[in-house]
Structure 1
Amino acid sequence: MPIILRLYLRAVRLRKTSLLILALAFIAGSATLAYALEPSTFGTWFNALYWVLTTMATVGYGDYYAKTAAGKTFTIFLYIFGIGLLSLIIGKIVDSVAAIHRQREAGKLMYQGKDHVIVINWSKKAHYAIEEILSYSSGAGVVLIDESDKHPLPDRHEVHFVSGDPSADEVLERANLRGARAAIIFSDARIDEPALVDGKTLLIASSIERIAPDIHTTAEISQDKHIANFRHVKVNEFVLSHDAVSRLAVRSALQQGNSDIFNQLLSRQHGDDIYEIPVRPDWRTYGDAFQALLREGATLLSDRGDLTINRKLSDPIPKEARLFAVTDEATYRTISAGKR
């Protein structure tokens, strides 16, 4: 018995690949030996392999069984070593799954997906942003990068967590930055000094531009005077901390009721939303687009950031135009598909 225990202890210390090779060799060798001992019982080598596997798995259907003394002796050997070896393999598999889960919780795993959105720096605002992204599409890929050592949303399996410094190349590579569609940099809530907060955001943005210059980057900054510091870094859009909240509060106080409109436009979870509408070949002017969309249940809002196009309805639509309209998702899908 001590010999058997020593063999088991040695098998436990084997690497997973070595253990797998040992198991395959053991199963193939056992099937060959069983067939050699009782060829009339099994008929073919494959039947012997089937018997070895059912015996090791403790299933024991009884359709094949050893009849000779040598075959029964080998069966006892298979009970002692085969079942133990299979249990050892199952234990290794369970350990591997648990290790992967621990690595996921610790943010050590590489993200393998594409066309995802990277959210940088965990905070309540980042939490709301992630929920909003997932409301657009339940299958949307989201990667959260933060310097904490534990997944802040362990129950959200759609959210992949990467732990580490967001400005470090290795961390951004683990988030598969090159395969992402967009990155959102939130201010680090653990830093109190606005200049230091924006300085860290600038460092992260410069790292993103160096690795993936074509990615659409949105950055939150604490003070608008710091935007000039980003002039050498490609950031597509800036969001001022608390700026939107302050302006919305003023509008709610001075123009009662319009905050509901902004709340709807800020979240796809409530009411209509803003969608980019593909320009149709038969639309010559903004008026053509406006009237066509109105008939289909949508309201033309802007061309890129230009909200004055309702006063330019006779103007031709430029080639570089990007039209945005307010509508619901069903109408948007119908318009996008070119259906009437």
Structure 2
Amino acid sequence: MQQWIRFYFQLPVLIRLLSIALVTMLFFGMAIHLIEPKNFPTFFDGIWWAFVTGATVGYGDYVPISLGGRIVAILLIFTGGGLITFYMVTLSSATVKHEQALSKGKVRFKGESHIVLLGWNERTRQLIDMMRKDNIEDKIVLIDETMNQLYQELSNVHFVKGDPTSEDTLEKANVCEARMAVVTANPSKKEQQSDQAVIHQLVALKGHHPNLFIIAEVLTERQKINAERAGANTVIRSNDFMSSLFYHELYRKDPLQPFQLFLNLLTARQFHEEKVSASLAGVAMINVLEHYLAQGSQVIGVKTGDTISFNIDTYTTLTEEDYLVLFTPFSE
């Protein structure tokens, strides 16, 4: 008996309340059927009357006439009506609490094949905006310990508040079932501290999910090798990238703005690597260029072994061992 009592109190509150309400309605339905079998000819008629009365709807299609039946009705009104009302209030309260817990990052993510973003900043915000703009439906789990609440209404983003190096946080984000992770540098910290934080997060992610594909951002060149050793599959050095754009912007000789041009290109097109097909092997490069232009793609480089050349000679020919670096529309 004690085991059943312990099991009952281990159930969620809503399940316990619902079970009590059902048992109460069944009890009163059976009682009224036994007391007034003429007015309530079947057990189901009694249950129907109990639910209608307990919910304070009161259709009046079944009415107790005898003294015993009316006493049962009074007891039902005192117990059942308050019980069902309390259940509905509790259900509403639980729904509101769950919504608040979701926005505050306290609810565990139960999906799989999702993308984990570590750190809420302008870069992750823009990344999410671009994915929404292109109607990419990947589920995103955002881990951040600085925010108290995710204020934006993002249906595909699940927020988890906590330290991204903590095992509990990674379990709450269900990282073991994730497809990919992006670790961004913290712009509020010094460069060295930010890179060290990124490396710690990489170690935690790989320790939790050894096969997880991770893209990491570092700010200094000397930490690139450490990020790779920590398990990053792709390392982006944002400072080097921005410095190159600043250089081109400072010393440009044409009215064309390199930064805006590059931004527009990356927004509309993507890099793609493709092995040279047998039909294009031995063909002059000028014909290869025309072949891909007809498909809406541009050849920007040739990869031979580990060497990539962006100086394209239109009269050279390719082999089946070569790879083409293409710039293709994002829709492909």
How much does 1:296 deviate? 3.0
User: Are 2:227 and 2:235, in contact at CA under 8 Å, matched by a contact in 1?
Assistant: no
Give a deviation string over 1:49-77, Cα, whole Å, max 9, x none.
22222222222223322233322332222
The unaligned stretches of length 5 or more in structure 1 are 1-13, 333-340
> Equivalent residue for 1:229?
226
Retained in 1: the 8 A contact 2:199–2:227?
Answer: yes
| 1:274 aligned residue (270, 282, 289) | 270
Shifted more, 214-223 versus 241-250: the winner is: 241-250
Identify which of 306, 325, 328 aligns with 1:326.
328
Change (3 A) 1:42 1:309: farther
Question: Where does residue 97 of structure 1 map in the other structure?
Answer: 95
Cα gap change, 1:117 to 1:306, in 2 (>3 Å): farther
Q: Does the CA-based 8 Å contact 2:276-2:320 persist in structure 1?
A: no
Cα RMSD (Å): 3.0
Match of 1:6 in 2: none
Q: Distance in 1 between matches of 2:68 and 2:278?
A: 87
2:212 maps to 215
Structure 1 residues 33 and 306, CA gap change in structure 2 (3 angstroms): farther
The match for 1:205 among 199, 202, 206 is: 202
Unaligned runs of 5+ in 2: 1-11
Aligned residue runs from structure 1 range 67-78, under 5 A: 67-78=65-76
Q: Per-residue displacement from partner, 1:270-309 (whole Å, max 9, x unpaired)?
A: xx32164887977554968755543333334457894649
- Aligned equivalents of 2:34 and 2:324: distance in 1? 76
The 3 A distance-change label for structure 1 pair 141 and 168 is: same
Deviations 1:180-223 (A, max 9, x none): 2211111123323x222111111111111122122221111111
Q: 1:158 to 1:231 in 2, by over 3 A?
A: closer
Worse-matched range after superposition: 223-232 or 178-187: 223-232
- How far, CA to CA, are the matches of 2:134 and 2:229 in structure 1? 32
132-141 vs 281-290, which deviates more? 281-290
Tell me, what secondary structure is at the counterpart of 1:41?
coil
**What's the TM-score once normalised by structure 2's chain length?**
0.81
Instruction: Tell me the equivalent position of 1:263.
Output: 263
The DSSP-based 3-state class of the residue aligned with 1:24 is: helix
Selected match of 2:237 from 229, 240, 243: 240
User: What SS is found at the alignment partner of 1:42?
Assistant: coil
Contact between 1:134 and 1:140, CA under 8 Å: does it hold in 2? no
- Residues in 1 aligned to 2:48 and 2:311: alpha-carbon distance in whole angstroms: 75
- SS in structure 1 of the partner of residue 39 of structure 2: helix
What is the SS of the residue equivalent to 2:20?
helix
**Residue number in structure 1 paired with 2:43:** 45
Instruction: Supply the distance in 1 between the matched residues of 2:49 and 2:299 (Cα, whole angstroms).
Output: 71
More displaced 10-residue stretch of structure 1: 228-237 or 106-115:
228-237
Can you list the C-alpha shifts for 1:137-169, whole angstroms capped at 9, x where unaligned? 353211111112512334223211111111112
Distance 1:283 1:265 in 2: 29
Q: 1:139 aligns with which of 124, 129, 137?
A: 137
Distance 1:81 1:114 in 2: 44
Aligned equivalents of 2:48 and 2:40: distance in 1? Answer: 9
CA offsets, 1:93-118, max 9 Å, x none?
Answer: 12211221222122121111222211
Describe the superposition over 1:8-60 as per-residue Cα deviations: whole angstroms up to 9, x where unpaired: xxxxxx94443333222111111111221222223322222222222222222
Specify the alignment match of 1:161 in structure 2.
Answer: 159
Cα separation, partners in 2 of 1:38 and 1:127, compared to 1, 3 Å: same
2:112–2:177 CA contact under 8 A, matched in 1: yes
Does the 8 A contact of 2:216 with 2:227 survive in 1? Answer: no
